[in-house]
Structure 1
Amino acid sequence: MDYTKCFKEVILKYSFIDPFVEFIRHNENITYKVTEKRSGDTYLMRMHKPITKNMQGVQNMREAIQSELEFLLAWSSHSELPVQIPFANLNGELVTSVVIECEEVYCSVLKWVFGETMSKKDFTSEGMVSTLGKHIAYLHQFSRSFKHSSSFIRPEYGVEWINTMLTQLRSGEEMGIITIREFQILENAFSLVTDRMKGLSKTFETWGFIHADIHNSNLIRVSRGISFIDFGLSGFGYYAMDVAMGALFTKKELRDDLLSGYTNIIPGRIDIAQLEDFMFLAICGYYAFLVSRKEKHEWIREHIPGLIEHLCDPFLEGKTVFYNI
């Protein structure tokens, strides 16, 4: 597909004046930074076309993109920190559709959040880690009060999601990237996590709208704290999933501070075993994503033995593994 042609067609559907365009990346979306030369107003333009087929899902449907943008609009009116506010096209629509080479591609534009993209090095102090925990809790607190319409559609991160991930990893075994023995161990670990998830209840306190892709590159340091960006994979899931993802890029000796920051806003006990399960799924999700990228097969082949030996095997033995890495 000629995405350059597609991009130029999308630009014309917005009220940009003398825009300067910079390509950012192609991952779950094709993204561009658009800056109006005179005003300096800056935007993020997304073409909702993932780089690999295994990243396609509910989130690429028009209704789901519209739902994400509706959540961002609601969140922006509530949050004290900058939010990627949706920007309508010339027809007043939040989702723009273009057809290139007989394929319909949906696009959206968000106002740019200015600040510093954070790195793991930023989360080496108790204060910053605790602040992250608090901001995750603020997001979940808002999610509890967020009222959406019956047409609101986003991905769900439950048992079906786990099964899809395992299917993607199975294709790695079929291609010879993952050995039969390694996949069997992965399958056993997935079975353990699935059984435990089936026993979890979806209550007001445990299940709701989550970011689902929290890592340092989706966090922006602004003057008043930490802003979340990239809600492209957001959907319905257990709140513990967001907390677990935050814990993964936090130094192990500071993870209690993350939980403390979170529970200062939303009181209650956080189950470490549950966090372990979601940390496991987050790590395996990265491998599942890379399986469909041929240029990453050598990396998977190199790293999968360590994943099995140091994480999966002790995890299956009932040891606390991921929370201590």
Structure 2
Amino acid sequence: MRDEELQDVLRGYGIEESETTFIRHNENRTYKVDEVNGSSYLLRIHQPVKDSMAGLQHTYESLQAELNMLEGLSSWNNLHVQKPLRNRDGELITIIQHEGKTWNSSVLTWLEGRDLQKDDVKDPAVVERLGAHIAELHRFYSQHQQEGLDKRPSQGTAYHEYMIEVIKRGLEKGLFTSCDVSIIETTLRWVNTRLEDRGSEGAWGLIHGDLSLGNIIMTPEGEFSFIDFGFFGPGYYYTDVAMGAMMIPSEHRDLFLRGYYGDNITGQNELVLLEGFMLVAIIGYYVFQMENESVHAWMRERMPKLCADYCIPYLSGERIFYIV
């Protein structure tokens, strides 16, 4: 986008003199905004780089729910996150016209720091604190109430069924074998059955839904900050815990669980479900990238290993928590 267009959006937030620096264009166009008074912001144009990446999270109603949540979370004393700004009309979203199309845009406070790195999570103290921070995020979500949450992406059993249908399209594209697709389908259905047998009490709520090293910022003070809530919405807490565990070296995963669960450390049944959600997270990456031809060769090569090394042992009753 031209700088004049960006400046026009920013003036609507009372940001009159600033310099914009393009960051990246993936799920959104993102820009760092440096104001002459020293304040910095993140400008997001909610336009994915590929049409196939557009989802519920890009709609006005869904984005409104995300920003309302962030506004509440930014006031939660125990976590530090980016706070959304309201424009001069008091709105969290500014609608813009670009290249003949209508897009939503939003502005967040800038968060100073860097992405969490693999070397960071080699430190046992960091690992345990990370588990505790995810637990704190879930504590906020457990008391957070607002309208519009039904407009957010939901990662429940119905989503797992949707994933099966997408993976089957990979068979049609020649990416996967029928045997591997059958194994993936059996794995996802097994997880769903286990969830239905156990019930959702205490396990279902609001989740981040996309935790990774790149979506956690380490501040200069050494604190964690969660970013990129594009998949925030209803889901099983296991989703976030499993994604968190996969960032951690296997030898430290018990410390991570201690940080999250505290004295109520997970039992065998929860561990089995966490393993299932690790596989769900990996399969979810394939689903998300299904229309991205640049990773098709990688997917074609890796799917047999996923099935042989992880899914089949898991379905056979072997424990895979420390090897995924």
Indicate whether the TM-score tops 0.5. Answer: yes
Matched ranges for 1:99-178 at <5 A = 99-149=97-147, 153-178=151-176
Check if 1:221 corresponds to 2:212: no
Question: How far 1:241 moved relative to its partner?
Answer: 1.2
Q: Give 1:214's aligned amino acid.
A: L
Question: Paired residue for 2:203?
Answer: 206
Letter in 2 for 1:252: S
Q: In structure 1, give the amino acid aligned to 2:126.
A: M
1:244-275: CA deviations, max 9, x gaps?
110011011111101101122x8463510110
RMSD value, Cα: 2.2
| Conserved 8 A contact 1:154-1:235 | yes
Per-residue deviation, residues 45-71 of structure 1 (Å, max 9, x unmatched): 112223344533322221111111111
2:58 corresponds to which of 60, 82, 88: 60
Give the structure 2 partner of residue 272 of structure 1.
271
Aligned to 2:14: 15
Q: CA deviation at 1:194?
A: 2.3
Q: Is the 2:215–2:228 Cα contact (8 Å) retained in structure 1?
A: yes
Tell me the SS of whatever aligns to 2:289.
helix
Q: Hey, what's the Cα distance between the residues in 2 that align with 1:312 and 1:180?
A: 15
Residue type matched to 2:244 in 1?
G
Worse overlay, 243-252 or 300-309? 300-309
Unaligned runs of 5+ in 2: none
User: 1:135-187: CA deviations, max 9, x gaps?
Assistant: 00111111111122367632211112112222222222111111222212212
Could you say which residue in structure 2 is the equivalent of 1:244?
A: 242
CA deviation profile, 1:111-143 (whole Å, cap 9, x unmatched):
011122211221012111000000001111111
Question: Residues 258 and 265 of structure 2 are in contact (CA less than 8 Å); yes or no, is this contact kept in structure 1?
Answer: no
After TM superposition, give the deviation of residue 196 of structure 1 in Å: 2.0
Distance 1:44 1:194 in 2: 38
Separation in 1 of the partners of 2:276 and 2:52? 22
Is 1:50 aligned to 2:39, yes or no? no
Which letter maps to 1:250?
I
Q: Contact between 2:62 and 2:148, CA under 8 Å: does it hold in 1?
A: no
Deviates further, 23-32 or 209-218: 23-32
Change (3 A) 1:255 1:63: same
The 1:146–1:305 alpha-carbon spacing in structure 2 relative to 1, beyond 3 Å, is same
Instruction: Label 1:296 to 1:152 Cα distance change in 2 as closer, same or farther (>3 A).
Output: closer
- Cα distance change of structure 1 residues 3 and 181 upon mapping to structure 2, 3 Å threshold: farther
Q: Distance in 1 between matches of 2:2 and 2:299?
A: 29
1:40 aligned residue (31, 38, 41): 38
> Who is 1:318 aligned against?
317
Deviation at 1:280, TM superposition (A): 0.5
Worse-matched range after superposition: 192-201 or 58-67: 192-201
| 8 Å CA contact 2:10, 2:16 repeated in 1 | no
Q: What secondary structure sits across from 1:148 in the alignment?
A: coil
SS of the residue aligned with 1:25?
A: strand
Code of the aligned partner of 1:160:
A
Q: Are residues 4 and 219 of structure 1, via their aligned partners in 2, closer, same or farther at CA, if it must alter by over 3 Å?
A: same
Local SS of the residue matching 2:119 = helix
Is 1:84 aligned to residue 86 of structure 2?
no
1:185-216 Cα deviation digits (max 9, x unpaired): 2122222122223334233x322111111111
Residue 295 of structure 2 is aligned to residue 296 of structure 1: yes
| Matched residue, 1:98 | 96
Matched-pair contact (CA < 8 Å) for 1:29–1:48:
yes
**Residue type of the partner of 1:156?**
S
- Identify unmatched segments of 5+ residues in structure 1: none
Query: How much has 1:322 moved relative to structure 2?
Result: 4.2
Query: In structure 1, how many angstroms separate the alpha carbons of the residues matched to 2:266 and 2:192?
Result: 22
Size of the aligned set, in residue pairs, is 321
What do the CA deviations read for 1:48-97 (whole angstroms, capped 9, x no partner)? Answer: 22334453332222111111111111111113442110012232210111
Query: Aligned partners of 1:7 and 1:171: how far apart in 2?
Result: 39
Give the SS at the match of 1:143: helix
> Is 1:284 equivalent to 2:307 in the alignment?
no
Q: TM-score, normalised by structure 2?
A: 0.91
Q: Which amino acid aligns with 1:99?
A: Q
> C-alpha distance in 1, partners of 2:212/2:137?
15
Does the 8 Å CA contact 1:213/1:231 hold for their aligned counterparts?
Answer: yes
* CA distances 1:11-58 after superposition (whole Å, capped 9, x unpaired): 45332233222222222222221212x222111111222334453332
Q: Secondary structure at the match of 1:120?
A: coil
